[in-house]
Amino acid sequence: MSIEDKDLRSIQEAREWLRKAKAAQKVLETLSQSRIDEIVKAMAEAGEREAERLGRMAVEETGFGKPEDKKTKNLFAARQIYTAIKDMKTVGIIRKDEVNKVWEIAQPFGVICGIIPSTNPTSTTLYKSLISMKTRNAIVFSPHPSALGCTLETARIMRDAIERAGGPKDAVACMTEPTMEATQELMKSKLSDLILATGGTPMVRSAYSSGKPAYGVGPGNVPVYIHKSADVKAAVRRIIQSKTFDNGTICASEQAIVTDLSIKPQVMEQIRVNGGYFLNPEEKAKVAAVIMVNGRLNPNIVGRSAKIISEMAGITVPSDTQVLIAEETEIGKTAPFSVEKLCPILALYTCDNWREGCQICTKLLENGGLGHSIGIHSEELEVIEAFGLEKPASRIIVNAGTTFGAIGAVSGIFPSLTLGCGSYGHNITSDNVGPMNLINIKRVAFGLREMVLEDKEQEVARQVESKIHSDISRDEVMQIVRKIIEEMQVS
């Protein structure tokens, strides 16, 4: 079989799935809120039952992350995201403003093209399936080729759950032969209505250039600042737990620690206590050489453990090492430790005070993480507020690991696995994307008052003036006219 044959076949498959999805979506539009909620519940329960197996599949197929953490991410989608969306009104009239006499009506987009990454394939497929069904949208997935099997299996589980609950199973579909040509067909076809893209920067840019409405995400070169007022022991424990979760494959994981000089010894001690290994200059150079290859992040280190990465770099580290860390002063594309590293590698920067810490964090965001997230550990509200006001980030996570805080697992942010970066990151939204991002809202607006044109008001004033034989001023005439008109409108 030639490459051209595969490409043509995949394009044809994309067209077939889009046609089936369009028909399924028409059925979804006829369903009531209660029926939609029954189907969504069945999907969430199916995802929860299969969370462990899907997690194992993802790691076995991609080599990224840890099975137990993949399971946790699957459960996050099936439990926490489901809990957040289950009582939302997404069908019919979802809100009535009785004061202003405006009704809001939910209307689905239609058919969604869902781009799935290799780093979080099963959890992202679960999450996008749930929020699409909740809003009566159909979705066709384009999986990453290296995560095809586990993505297909997750989609199959969702399809079976929909069918068992009495819904149209083709509301969720997945390509079996993913190619760039097929993905382009999904994004640009007249049968698709919205793109929900989670993946690398080139794919997200392609989604935005497709001519369709699109939600994409930007990279997350997330810095975390430890202020002198912080509980250092708790801060470092949270950072290491966050950074090593699933070997750092969530884009909201910390990439660099910025610490005040006055507490640096305590920070370094706690990093060692929590499994951090500080690289000496020679070891740092060797690890730097495997972080970047030909000016780009080395894909072979993504989602790998600290032990495997150290072996790749040709260095020996203690067997209990959880994260590799190097002291750094430089920021830029020529400083590998300063870029986004989707694996357990951290850079450590030192600052004299929070203002200098602010500057370092901003430079790190500008080095590939604009609009995404930032972390701060501090007990001083003034410093926290300054970070929130000044930073070009959409999520400022306080006293929590950024991985868990940014996705809404341990914070009050809406739980999601697609994190918008706003205009800083060239995204259309800074939201944690959820059901409300997947519906059009129509508004029924009742008239509240009569429209009085300015020339009519002036005409009434002239008529009043002509009949009043006194020294009353023009301004007083206008006040009388407006009062009369207001009384007429109220009555």
Whether residue 278 is found in the same domain as residue 399: yes
The CATH number of whichever domain residue 293 belongs to comes to 3.40.309.10
**Are the CB atoms for 61 and 147 separated by under 8 Å?**
yes
Whether residue 58 is found in the same domain as residue 8: yes
The CATH number of whichever domain residue 50 belongs to comes to 3.40.605.10
Which structural domain range is residue 277 located in?
222-413
- The pLDDT value recorded for residue 1 is 45
Whether residue 462 is found in the same domain as residue 406: no
Whether residue 106 is found in the same domain as residue 148: yes
Residue 62 has which token pair?
């991609």
Structural domain contains residue 390: yes
Dihedral sign computed on CA atoms, order 181, 186, 191, 195: negative
Structural domain contains residue 419: no
Residue 252 has which token pair?
């909201």
d(CA 482, CA 369): 55
Instruction: Answer yes or no: 251 catalytic.
Output: yes
Over its C-alpha atoms, the chain yields an Rg (Å, rounded) of: 28
DSSP state letter for 412: S
d(CA 11, CA 34): 36
Whether residue 159 is found in the same domain as residue 257: no
Please report, as a single letter, which amino acid is at residue 117: P
Q: What is the pLDDT along the chain (491 residues), one digit of tens a residue?
A: 455 688 899 999 999 999 999 999 999 999 999 999 999 999 999 999 999 999 999 999 999 999 999 999 999 999 999 999 999 999 999 999 999 999 999 999 999 999 999 999 999 999 999 999 999 999 999 999 999 999 999 999 999 999 999 999 999 999 999 999 999 999 999 999 999 998 777 777 788 888 899 998 878 999 999 999 999 999 999 999 999 999 999 999 999 999 999 999 999 999 999 999 999 999 999 999 999 998 899 999 999 999 999 999 999 999 999 999 999 999 999 999 999 999 999 999 999 999 999 999 999 999 999 999 999 999 999 999 988 898 999 999 999 999 999 999 999 999 999 999 999 988 999 999 999 999 999 999 999 988 876 666 666 666 666 666 566 777 777 777 777 777 665 55
Structural domain contains residue 227: yes
Helix, strand, coil % in the chain, rounded to nearest 5: 50, 15, 30
Structural domain contains residue 421: no
Please report, as a single letter, which amino acid is at residue 373: S
d(CA 449, CA 355): 53
Q: β-pairing, 292-293 with 296-297?
A: antiparallel
Question: 295-305 b/e with 16+ CB inside 10 Å = b?
Answer: eebbeebbbbb
Whether residue 14 is found in the same domain as residue 106: yes
Residue 340 CB neighbour total at 10 angstroms? 19
Identify the bridge partners of residue 102 per DSSP, sorted by sequence position: 97, 445
> Does residue 398 sit in helix, strand or coil?
strand
- The pLDDT value recorded for residue 218 is 78
Name the nearest CA neighbour of 172 among 214, 114, 229, 118.
114
Structural domain contains residue 252: yes
Whether residue 87 is found in the same domain as residue 133: yes
The one catalytic residue among 113, 150, 174, 251: 251
First-last CA distance in the chain: 79
Whether residue 109 is found in the same domain as residue 244: no
Structural domain contains residue 24: yes
Dihedral sign computed on CA atoms, order 283, 288, 289, 291: positive
Whether residue 196 is found in the same domain as residue 50: yes
Structural domain contains residue 163: yes
Whether residue 364 is found in the same domain as residue 271: yes
Structural domain total, the chain: 3
- The pLDDT value recorded for residue 342 is 94
Structural domain contains residue 428: no
- The pLDDT value recorded for residue 473 is 75
Whether residue 179 is found in the same domain as residue 233: no
